[in-house]
Amino acid sequence: MPGTHRLTALRLTRGEHQRQPVIDLDGRRVWDSTAIIAALEDYRPEPPLYPADPDERERALALEDYFDEELAPRIRRLIWHHMLPDIDAATDAALPDEGAFKRGLLRATSPVGGRLVRQDYSADEAGAREAEIGIRAAMDRLEAELGGGEYLVEGAFSVADLTAAALSTPPLAPPGRPWAPELVEPLRPFRDELEARPGGRWVARMYEQHRGVPVAA
C-alpha cells in the first residue's frame, strides 16, 4: 500500500530498512534488491546470475550498482511525477490485483499519500526534468557498455542485464508488464524516444527472453 510501504518495511526488518522489496527466503528475511539477488543466487545457483570469472563478476556487480543507484531513483521520480495527477492510473499501477476496499482506501487517502510520495522521490517539475536527463545518460551508458553485443558481460545473461533491463521497464512498458501497462499520456513521448533507441529495443528483448513466469507478491 503506497504511503505505508516504508512502515511495512521498517516493521518487517525491525527498523533496519525502509524500502521494498523485503522477502522471506528459506527462513531468512532479506531486504534490498542487491542483497536479495545475492541470496537468490545462493539458494538457486543455476542458471548463474554472477559471472564465474572474478573480473567479469566485478564488472557485472559494478553495472548492477550503477543502474540500481543512478537509474532507478530517476525512473521512480519521473513515473510518479506524471502518474500522481491521474488517480486511476496510479491506483492501477500500485494495486493491480487488489479489491475494491484497498483501492478505495488508496483513492481516499491520495491527497496526503500523493504528497508523501512526491516528497520521498523529489517528484516535481524540476525533478522530472533532471530525471529525463539522467535516464538518457543511463541509456547512453547501457548502449556503450553493450557495444552492439547481446549481453552486458561475458556473452551471457547476468545480474547486470537483469538490473538494467528490469529497472528500465516502467517508462518503456514492454508487452506483458503487469504494472501500469498503459502509460499515462505525458510519458508517451519519452517512451517513444527510448523505444526507438538500441537500448530501448534491448530492454524489450531482455524482458521478453528472460523474465520467466511472474509470481504474485
Ligand X SMILES: N[C@@H](CCC(=O)N[C@@H](CS)C(=O)NCC(=O)O)C(=O)O
Residues that bind ligand X in the complex, under the rule CB under 6 A = 2, 5-6, 19-20, 32-33, 68, 120
For the bound state, the minimum distance from the C-beta of residue 73 to ligand X, rounded and expressed in Å, comes to: 7
Cα–Cα distance, 158 to 196 (Å, whole number): 24
Residue 164, C-alpha cell as written in the block: 538494467
Number of residues that make up the chain: 217
Residue 65 is which amino acid? D
Residue number, nearest CB to ligand X: 5
Min dist. Cβ of residue 166 to ligand X (A): 10
Nearer to ligand X, 2 or 51 (CB): 2
* DSSP secondary structure letter of residue 214: -
Rounded Cα–Cα distance for residues 214 and 217 (Å): 9
Q: Which of 143, 141, 121, 135 is nearest to 169 (CA)?
A: 135
In the complex, the smallest distance separating the C-beta of residue 34 from ligand X, rounded to whole angstroms, is 6
Nearer to ligand X, 32 or 143 (CB): 32
Residue among 12 and 154 whose Cβ is closer to ligand X: 12
Nearer to ligand X, 70 or 86 (CB): 70
Bridge-based pairing state of the strands 28-31 and 22-25: antiparallel
Nearest distance from C-beta of residue 90 to ligand X, angstroms: 12
Q: Indicate the helix (H) or strand (E) that contains 178.
A: none
